[in-house]
Amino acid sequence: MTIEDLALYFTKGLGSRGAAHLVDYFGSAERVYEASRSELINGAGLRTEIAERIVAHEGMREAEQEIKYCQKHDIRIISATDEEYPEALRATIDRPHILFVLGNVEALSKQCLAMVGTREITPSGIHSANILIKDLGDEISDLCIVSGLAYGADSACHRAALANGITTVAIIPSNLPSIIPAAHAQLATEIIKAGGAIVSELSSQTRNNGSHFISRNRIIAGMSLATLVVESPAEGGSLSTADIADSYSRTVLALPGRITDTNSFGTNNLIRSGKARLVLTANDIIEDAGLQRSEHRATQLEDNQPQIALTDEEQRVLNAFKEGSILDWSELLASTQMSMGELAMTMMELELKGAIRTLPGKRYEVI
């Protein structure tokens, strides 16, 4: 992180997308400040008033103050161009250009799974989250559970991770070192002591006025490979996180529940609409989210994996998939040169054999 990165953060009217656009266009924050007024306006497409603020180096004084503040409170500042910045978050269009971190920055680069849900989580929801997190930890050595430190499902998932020796990261809607909610300050301390981190996009000069919850949710979804909704009523903040994850083309997962349970209305609707994959076991999460098992567990599973007999047509379909790729129906038709009827029959056979699975939007991937 350079002082120019932080100065962009403090440039009035620029915002996260504007900062990301400028750094992408010029290659670095330093080059942004080396650019002329004309380059900023005619080249990068900035509004005149914002370009003039950058040319005048507005934001530098605030950046210097912030650096001193963060040094005093042991807060790390990382920018989207830093190696420590989480790759999954860097890929989002509205990524925050600056993150403020208390604790272990390396935790942000683990295999992150977002787990969110209602503040009124039931004992059953807590029990389910505990089982899934424990089982995931048995399979994945570099797992990180990401949530929002809020009451209910968020704090339950953080605590389950801590109880099972799994790294956890909390994204909060307040500036550091303040903690929202204040009642979870001790939990935040435990997260940091266990090798996790508390993360915010808000500087010390931001007012904590309760308006940053939704923007916080985009970071939870953005830095995670998948988002799992544990429990949710028909409306709630966790559903906004699921919507954001879906807009990023990230996997959305949900635990099903009884149709009479209010806290299952939201998760059941996610599954019914096709937006979320139904989760029953930790293995469902690993497969649908594309998480990588620890090497020794992957070897054990590979040794025990039965060989699947394939027809020539089935092998032709599988050959269309590159490693880790996801293809839709039209792409498969073009790649295999099969008729629609022939491809439909072959896809059905492959799914029955457990070789492929169907994703929302009539997309497919190899298991």
Would residue 48 count as lying in a domain?
yes
Whether residues 318 and 291 share a domain: the answer is: no
Checking if the pLDDT of 37 tops 70, the result is: yes
Q: Which residues contact 71 (CB under 8 A, 6 or more apart)?
A: none
Residue 339's domain comprises 306-366
- 149: domain CATH number is 3.40.50.450
Whether residues 335 and 279 share a domain: the answer is: no
- The per-residue pLDDT for 301 is 47
- The per-residue pLDDT for 362 is 75
Whether residues 261 and 119 share a domain: the answer is: yes
Checking if the pLDDT of 214 tops 80, the result is: yes
Checking if the pLDDT of 104 tops 90, the result is: yes
Checking if the pLDDT of 358 tops 60, the result is: yes
Checking if the pLDDT of 271 tops 60, the result is: yes
The proportion of the chain whose per-residue pLDDT surpasses 70, expressed as a percent, equals 95
Whether residues 362 and 253 share a domain: the answer is: no
Identify the weakest region by mean pLDDT among 156-170, 247-261, 333-347, 352-366.
352-366
- For 77, phi then psi, to 5°, come to -110, 125
Checking if the pLDDT of 300 tops 70, the result is: no
CA distance linking residue 116 with residue 31, whole number of Å:
39
Residues 48-73 pLDDT 10s: 999 999 999 999 999 999 999 999 99
Whole-prediction pTM value? 0.79
CA distance linking residue 40 with residue 24, whole number of Å:
13
Whether residues 269 and 317 share a domain: the answer is: no
pLDDT band at 353 (very low <50, low <70, confident <90, very high): confident
